[in-house]
Structure 1
Amino acid sequence: MRKKGMLIGITLLICASFLVGCKKDSNTVIKLADVGWDSIKFHNAVASFIAGNAYGYETEEISATTPLTVQALKGNDIDVIMEMWTNNVVSYSDDIASGAYQELGTNFDDNKQGFYVPRYVIEGDPSRGIEPMAPDLKTVADLVNYKDVFVDEEDVTKGRIYGAISGWEIDKVMYNKYKYYGLDKDFNYFRPGSDAPLAAAFSTAYEKGEPIVGYYWEPTWLTGKYDLVLLEDAPYDPETYPDGKTACPPVIVTVSASNDMVKKAPDFVEFLKKYKTSSSLTAEALAYMQDEKANYEETAKWFLKNHDELISEWLPEEKAELVRNALN
């Protein structure tokens, strides 16, 4: 009996050693930047699921503002920023050129922003019994003809345009656009205090089938859920854009990593180099999260199940199978 007990003990020790070997990366914690908005939290959840199930790495989110997370990336206190909005980081090009941190790839670069209206405002929606309200509305300049469509309920002599969030840099541009096109004569420019009341204004109007025009951006749950049309503008010109005279440019949103990250988890870095989505895919996930009241992890799992092709694009086959097994 004693020999049998020793044999069992040795066997358990070998099994334990084997399991430790399989989990050799579990002591490596990958720190992901959380700068507050839903899309980066969603991408963090996708990366975390793959980190844990395909590579055996733990992850941790570090919450801070964009300037602080960039500084932390330089100091190797944060490992990865899944959404580096490059136009919002003045030093980005110089940082990459100097090797302060590394750009691994582009998460998405097809995002848009500007003045939007629901599609039914232009085309109507027979299924909802909505007639076209502004059938010739195509451009920002055309808004001058439709103050009576977008009536400001607090000042019925004028129309209302919802501006960007007060304090955002883009608000200056959109307000200049409002004045450049002469919209200040017949429209009030209403600044929401945060993104919540702006989203509420759009969603309330949309559910009621009422007209609304205002600033919004992609990707968000709102642009993923509702059929909105971005009003056309003059082609983007960096010289006149700040004055509101042209369309807003798309922002290249990259996946960036600290120099230490490249050394401590090179296999996971190879995955991050291949990580690419799109504005529409991200908005689709955020709309699912909003409709289903799902958390970020649940949304990440739903997304991976519904876009299995991305798993194949991002991962070698053996790692892809680990992720699929975890999902199932």
Structure 2
Amino acid sequence: MKQFKKSQEYHDNPGCTSVDRNKTTFSNLPKLILIGLLSIVLMLVMTACSNDAGADKKEPIIFADGGWDSLKFHNEIAGIIISEGYGYETETISGSTAALMKGIEQEEIDIHMELWSENLGDIYFDGVENGDYIQLSVNFDDNFQGLYVPTYVIEGDSARGIDPIAPDLKYITDLPDYWEVFKDPEDEGKGRIIGSISGWTVDEILYEGIQEYGLDDHYNYFRPGSESSINISLASAYEKGEPWIGYNYEPNWVMGKYDMTPILEEVEDGPLSSIGAQDIDIISNKSLPERAPDVVDFLKKYKTSSLIANNALVYIQDEKASAHDAAIKFLHENEDIWTTWVPKEIAQKVKEAIK
């Protein structure tokens, strides 16, 4: 009876059609086991392949964007090489200097291509020493920032029929004698110094330095709303041959296009000494060397100059081009420079991509 019931149960199974029910059932069993084993193996293979694909996937490289054009230009050069040569996707995160540095420290941002080291001072140098950031290389060091006047203000410009207006102006301590030359259009009792942008570290240094020199007795410190406002103010005055004094820096398109003279401090350790010529560093967060050692090796060799950036920024301004356009132009015209930063096979990939 027990044997019959067991046979009946298999007979009721649609998969059993043989007259000899017991024989049919047990002959099919190895096939069922084999099918099951094959399914398990297939699943394991698919899982392994999926894991391998995930292991090969490269995380995007995130650049800091502080908003100024020369930084955007360098972000584009490095971004093109990293994406086309090394196969990483690239992204940018915009923000104030403080926010970007925090993002690098917290590893939400990977790279800053143009870090003005002295502007940040101890915040930066202590961070490097503590391992919060990694200094990879000096992008350029032939730079300057501070107060400038058009050279014709001091020397005149005979070709334009401009006589010298402040022939003895050389140092910041000379400025009280010339406040009427740079008269504030909204306050006839004082001159106007065009300052830096609120939120930039240099703005605080510059403002406090002007107070230490007592220039606030003779000048109003005017903060424009953007870098473009500073440059438009300068360009407008320059094209008209009018006097102008204010903050600027190299590299910048106005510095490349116009003949400007910096107004210096008479002493080496003056209140504004920290914002003069300085190393402009490329830095990364602490995890990038392990995550993308090939990119780090490339950035350690990256080195340019203020002149390179000035020329690029003049091109952007005059041709209404983008930072990406300027980067492509640089890569086409300066293979002797950038191909020394990367292995030959990487350089070839980039060349093929930008044809």
Same fold (TM over 0.5): yes
Letter in structure 2 aligned against 1:116? Y
Moved more, 223-232 or 155-164: 155-164
1:57 equivalenced with 2:84 (yes/no)? no
1:205 aligned partner: 237
- Preserved contact between residue 26 and residue 58 of structure 1 (Cα < 8 Å): no
Moved more, 281-290 or 266-275: 281-290
2:267 aligned partner: 235
1:264 aligned partner: 291
2:237 and 2:82 map into 1 onto residues whose CA distance is: 41
2:345 and 2:249 map into 1 onto residues whose CA distance is: 38
Per the TM alignment, residue 41 of structure 1 is displaced from its structure 2 partner at its CA by 1.7
Report the CA distance shift for 1:26/1:303 in structure 2 as closer, same or farther (over 3 A): farther
2:303 aligned partner: 276
Report the CA distance shift for 1:30/1:201 in structure 2 as closer, same or farther (over 3 A): same
Letter in structure 2 aligned against 1:308? E
* Aligned residues: CA RMSD: 2.7
Report the CA distance shift for 1:139/1:67 in structure 2 as closer, same or farther (over 3 A): closer
1:83 equivalenced with 2:118 (yes/no)? no
Letter in structure 1 aligned against 2:64? A
TM-score by length of 1: 0.80
Per the TM alignment, residue 208 of structure 1 is displaced from its structure 2 partner at its CA by 0.9
- CA distances 1:63-112 after superposition (whole Å, capped 9, x unpaired): 33333333332333322221233332643333322333422111123332
Question: Percent of counterpart pairs with the same letter?
Answer: 45
1:254 aligned partner: 281
Moved more, 111-120 or 246-255: 246-255
- Preserved contact between residue 133 and residue 286 of structure 2 (Cα < 8 Å): yes
1:310 aligned partner: 337
Report the CA distance shift for 1:126/1:247 in structure 2 as closer, same or farther (over 3 A): farther
Per the TM alignment, residue 156 of structure 1 is displaced from its structure 2 partner at its CA by 3.8
Q: How does 1:27-38 map to 2 (within 5 A)?
A: 27-38=58-69
User: Based on CA coordinates, which of the two structures has the bigger radius of gyration?
Assistant: 2
- Preserved contact between residue 121 and residue 211 of structure 1 (Cα < 8 Å): yes
- CA distances 1:231-272 after superposition (whole Å, capped 9, x unpaired): 1212332xx52xx5x574334321112333212322221110
**Aligned residue pair count:** 300
Per the TM alignment, residue 44 of structure 1 is displaced from its structure 2 partner at its CA by 1.0
TM-score by length of 2: 0.74
1:21 aligned partner: none
- Preserved contact between residue 232 and residue 247 of structure 1 (Cα < 8 Å): no
Moved more, 69-78 or 285-294: 69-78
Structure 1 alignment gaps of length 5 or more = 1-23
Secondary structure at 1:277 match in 2? coil
- Preserved contact between residue 79 and residue 90 of structure 2 (Cα < 8 Å): yes
Q: How does 1:89-168 map to 2 (within 5 A)?
A: 90-166=122-198, 168=200
Moved more, 148-157 or 44-53: 148-157
2:252 and 2:179 map into 1 onto residues whose CA distance is: 27
Secondary structure at 1:314 match in 2? coil
Letter in structure 2 aligned against 1:293? K
- CA distances 1:15-59 after superposition (whole Å, capped 9, x unpaired): xxxxxxxxx977442122223222222111101111122222221
Structure 2 alignment gaps of length 5 or more = 1-54
- Preserved contact between residue 202 and residue 275 of structure 2 (Cα < 8 Å): no
Report the CA distance shift for 1:325/1:26 in structure 2 as closer, same or farther (over 3 A): farther
- CA distances 1:216-241 after superposition (whole Å, capped 9, x unpaired): 2232222222221101212332xx52
Letter in structure 2 aligned against 1:209? G
- CA distances 1:128-174 after superposition (whole Å, capped 9, x unpaired): 23232222222222223333432333344543322333454434443
- Preserved contact between residue 68 and residue 227 of structure 2 (Cα < 8 Å): no
1:9 aligned partner: none
- Preserved contact between residue 236 and residue 249 of structure 1 (Cα < 8 Å): no
2:239 and 2:138 map into 1 onto residues whose CA distance is: 35
2:98 and 2:209 map into 1 onto residues whose CA distance is: 27
Report the CA distance shift for 1:319/1:127 in structure 2 as closer, same or farther (over 3 A): farther
Letter in structure 2 aligned against 1:107? N
